[in-house]
């Protein structure tokens, strides 16, 4: 008689485990993550065919909250040599050379606490460029100003005393024709 197939370890055509798929679902709860991760703890750091770990996909999910991150990271921590090197487990880039922080900063619905938690996991990612040459800050510039302000507060403490207007937040760039330049631009 063949042995039973463990569904938590079964990959789809994109190389995704059920934990990857769950991390893309906007109905995901920390309890759901826990169930799948208890069934297959290695899934916390497994990569799909796009080189995405579940953390990459969770950071792109509009439903992400800090409890989601904490649950996933508690299982990923089991694969770190010690607590100080958890960043080495989660600092991998995907096929587009994006760190989880890039994905989080491209998420229009992200909470400031999530940005702070991911920056704390891998501070160096703040300055890393993805496949387009963008840093997480440049990804965030496409998002709303409140997220930008929170990212700057967490990642660049020296800017905390400057008002958002000095940082260029909330202003639209002027076109050259508005400045009296070439009208055919």
Question: In this structure, is residue 110 part of a structural domain?
Answer: yes
Which residue would you say has higher pLDDT here, 162 or 71? 71
Domain that holds residue 90: 7-171
Structural domain includes residue 81: yes
Per-residue model confidence as pLDDT tens digits over 62-75: 999 999 999 999 99
- Please check whether residue 2 lies inside any domain of the structure: no
CA distance 57 to 39: 19
63 within domain boundaries: yes
Mean pLDDT score of the chain, rounded to an integer? 80
Q: Does 53 fall in a domain?
A: yes
What CATH number does the domain containing 43 carry?
A: 1.25.40.20
DSSP 146: H
Instruction: Give the CB-side neighbour count of residue 133, counting CA atoms within 13 A.
Output: 0
Residue 99 above 60 pLDDT?
yes
More confident residue, 153 or 103: 103
- Residue 179 within any structural domain of the chain: no
pTM of the model: 0.77
- For the cut 90, the answer to whether the pLDDT of residue 122 exceeds it is no
Quote the CA–CA distance of 152 and 163 in Å, as a whole number: 11
If residue 58 lies in a helix (H) or strand (E), which one and from where to where? helix 54-60
Asked whether residue 119 is domain-assigned, the answer is yes
In a domain, 76, yes or no: yes
Say how many domains are in the chain: 1
**Residues 6+ away with beta carbon under 8 Å from 44:** 19, 37, 53, 54, 72, 75, 76, 78, 79
In this prediction, residue 13 carries a pLDDT of 96
């Amino acid at each position: 008689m063949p042995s039973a197939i463990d569904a938590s370890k079964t990959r789809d055509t994109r190389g995704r485990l059920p934990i990857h798929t769950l991390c893309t679902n906007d109905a995901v709860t920390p309890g759901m993550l826990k169930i799948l991760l208890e069934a297959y703890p290695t899934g916390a750091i497994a990569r799909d065919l796009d080189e995405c770990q579940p953390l990459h996909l969770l950071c792109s999910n509009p439903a992400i909250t800090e409890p989601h991150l904490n649950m996933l990271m508690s299982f990923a921590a089991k694969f770190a040599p010690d607590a100080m090197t958890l960043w080495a487990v989660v600092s991998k880039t995907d096929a587009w050379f994006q760190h989880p922080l890039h994905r989080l900063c491209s998420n229009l619905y992200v909470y400031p606490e999530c940005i702070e938690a991911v920056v704390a996991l891998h501070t160096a990612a703040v300055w890393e460029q993805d496949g387009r040459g963008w840093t997480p800050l440049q990804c965030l510039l496409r998002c709303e100003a409140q997220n930008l302000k929170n990212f700057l507060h967490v990642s660049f403490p020296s800017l905390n005393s400057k008002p958002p207007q000095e940082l260029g937040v909330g202003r639209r760039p002027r076109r050259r024709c508005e400045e009296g330049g070439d009208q055919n631009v």
